[in-house]
Chains A and B, each alone.
Chain A
């Protein structure tokens, strides 16, 4: 197992170097002079230009610039935002909990509903239950989620007034953030109605963000279950006279888990891409909206830093999924 972990860790290094080169190259690939891009100043004098060129270190050889960038990034320094002059890393850490909270809620919905519906469809193969579930899953999989979010706002926020349209907390309620996770902070604050407000604000964005992962997980669970239900050990379990529910839920499901876990891991990238859209629609103050705003304001140090951090998050999650995969499936470990 240790060797497997080490092998996996070694494989991460080239990907990390690639990610860092891409994010380093980003500012240099932008049209226009990098000094103009980084300073945000226009029509400056030649002297000022040279001064800034030296200040940004752009007069040094490119490899030297890269290693300096890498060294600073490894030490947690991603530069200063061009628009509000706060350190990029600090902003990222401040906003990231909002995205994690939303993503976790979406993932919980997607896994619970997706696995249940997938198992149900497999157990009732070729009946109307199966067809309805899989039809629904295909619609979910094809859904433009930015439109889906707007529809839910029209119906549940504007029409029925069940949920708020945007943000994370009612404006009338204020407390100092401790963890950055609204659900936890609202409980810690002890204010009446705070937790309820946090939950209400979370519902619509989580549902929207969970749509595609839910559909993918349901489809994958169904096909994994169908494959397993044909196996000999399932027939043996049935022959022993076990109840069908027990055969499906325990004997078959445990073995169908492996491909499902992989699928769940692969959804993390989808989730972060979806967060960009969901956060924009619901004005959710997370890193997705932060990135979109930064691109809109041409705040390129934020885009550069955010890009690097998001790629690192995806990379780390994929690594964890790989390790988890080996933990569930001993055959992988031996290879």
Chain B
């Protein structure tokens, strides 16, 4: 797809000079469709990626329809059922996966927890992608001191272990889900900046960019409309990987008491709350972690599939 995208770019950018947009539009859209179906062809051959996609879609549906799917209110405390075991360990069908130390239904809390994890991933990746791409574009396009300043700052961020830096940022901002997301986005964005910068530098002197510049395109147009669309493939893969990273790191922060605060049914926070009961009631620890693992695994499977489908080098081999 990256190949076909770069071949279509010159036609797109040179449009105003060469022909009217009405003539060229249908060709571009059929090419886009062809590129998309080619991509799907490669992606759907990967069984793991398809499984990941199905699981992820299911998770999204569960998150959206949580109030209808969950058997109980996630914060409702059933005082007569503290630490009730799951149904196959002698529990009742009322609480299929058992209850936590406060008598809240595990299944309902896990279902509502999916909302937090997916939302965390989405917001963090959007934030990191947006700021990282802009910084990378500026650094790669202008080079010189802009590049030096931006990239040195990125190097400094990357010099710290990500979780530790996120922890320190949360210590500055104060514990909480929103601050944890800001911290994780800051920690993840250098990857986007580096990738974008490298792609921009590779694309900048290609003929289609030069011709667009000669045709009078300004810096912003060149950066956003001419160059950026041709750098998308690695960014999409990185975004997927960051999505799963964001979920893991947010859960880790929650586990350390610096992320979402109780009684929020965030999976990492649930694990932290349940830690002291691991020997008496292993299910309060097992299920939240399993949910994190399944979600992250599904996204990573999709990421692997995307990388294989989008990487032209791997495709040919």
Spell out A's residues near B (CB within 8 Å): 14-15, 18-19, 21-22, 26, 29-31, 135, 138-139, 141-144, 146-148, 150-151, 153-154, 158, 230, 269-270, 272-274, 276-277, 280, 291-292, 295-296, 303, 307, 310-311, 314-315, 318
Contact = CB atoms under 8 A, between A and B. Distances in A.
Interface string B266-305: 0010010001001100100110111011001100110010
B156 interface: yes
Given A19-B159, A291-B164, A310-B161, A142 B275 contact: no
Contacts of A147: 271, 285, 288-290, 292-293
B304 A138 contact: yes
A118 to B, nearest CB: 15
A315 B278 CA distance: 38
B251 A273 contact: no
Given A141-B300, A277-B255, 18 more contacts: A15-B155, A18-B159, A19-B156, A22-B156, A22-B160, A139-B293, A142-B297, A142-B300, A144-B296, A146-B268, A146-B271, A147-B288, A147-B293, A148-B289, A276-B167, A277-B256, A291-B164, A314-B161
B174 interface: yes
B179 to A, nearest CB: 11
Contacts, number: 125
Given A18-B156, A142-B300, A270 B161 contact: yes
A14 B153 CA distance: 9
Q: Which residue of B160, B248, B317 has the most chain A CB atoms within 10 A of its CB atom?
A: B160
A21 B152 CA distance: 12
A29 B258 CA distance: 18
Contacts of A280: 256
B244 interface: yes
User: Chain B, interface size: which category?
Assistant: 35 or more
B84 to A, nearest CB: 19
Given A30-B172, A142-B300, A310 B160 contact: yes
B171 A30 contact: yes
Contact of A150 (B158, B162, B289, B300): B289
The 10 closest A-B pairs by CB, nearest first: A147-B289, A18-B156, A273-B161, A273-B163, A142-B296, A142-B297, A272-B161, A144-B292, A269-B161, A311-B159
Given A144-B289, A146-B252, A150-B285, A295 B167 contact: yes
Contacts of A15: 152, 155-156, 159
A148 to B, nearest CB: 8
A311 B159 CA distance: 6
A273 B285 contact: no
A272 B293 CA distance: 21
B54 interface: no
Contacts of B159: 15, 18-19, 311, 314-315, 318
B168 interface: yes
A311 B160 contact: yes
Given A144-B251, A144-B293, A150 B278 contact: yes
A315 B152 CA distance: 13
A273 B152 contact: no
15 contacts: A15-B152, A15-B159, A18-B156, A29-B172, A142-B296, A144-B248, A144-B268, A144-B296, A148-B289, A158-B278, A158-B279, A269-B162, A276-B256, A314-B159, A315-B159
A26 B268 CA distance: 26
